[in-house]
Structure 1
């Protein structure tokens, strides 16, 4: 339980979401608009119109987990390249959640084991 980290895949839902949606509503968005399986183990990231609320939907063994954060001041700034259903990396999610805005960065190549 509570097992998010760099080993997961993250997808940002690009349109503003009504944050009254709970598990079933968010699963419906994933199925119908992203054409993906919400129970695949991928983490789906949702922002509201004002970008002061964020929800993460994640399937863990046995059921869905939802993470929810409300900012009292400021907004979440999604990565610039993020479109609807765009993959985002763990460092980008952490920077977005912490309010760190990086402009003009370039990711250097790193070794990836392709087993």
Structure 2
């Protein structure tokens, strides 16, 4: 389990990405497809076409860092590729990495402050 602060934002590229790309290629996808600044410090999540591999790109104070996971069996449950502007909470990212289907999961009501 990865411990991530709840204030961290997680942006997801729903469309498949060629994961042969590394730091600079994924940073460009973040700018073009996600409309996000890759140096913001937030997590940018990408998956391949088969949905059995993901890469997470983030800026770590003085350079890019890249985290990758490859499943030996099965696939990640991923959003519809036609979806745009997907943002997950760190808890949702941890659940997805743990094999939980976010579409079947149900969120219980919680109090939250109104956003301006």
Normalising by the residue count of structure 2, what TM-score does the alignment of the two structures yield?
0.83
1:54 aligns with 2:54: yes
Residue in structure 1 matched with residue 107 of structure 2 by the alignment = 106
Equivalent residues in 2 for 1:1-115, closer than 5 Å: 4-78=4-78, 83-102=83-102, 103=104, 105-111=106-112
Q: Which runs of 5+ in 2 are unaligned?
A: none
RMSD between aligned residues: 2.4
Distance 1:26 1:3 in 2: 23
Distance 1:23 1:15 in 2: 18
Paired residue total: 112
Distance 1:100 1:24 in 2: 30
Please state whether the residue corresponding to 1:109 is helix, strand or coil: coil
Q: Which runs of 5+ in 1 are unaligned?
A: none
Distance 2:112 2:34 in 1: 29
Change (3 A) 1:111 1:32: closer
Cα offset, 1:26, TM superposition: 0.3
Cα offset, 1:20, TM superposition: 0.2
Normalising by the residue count of structure 1, what TM-score does the alignment of the two structures yield?
0.84
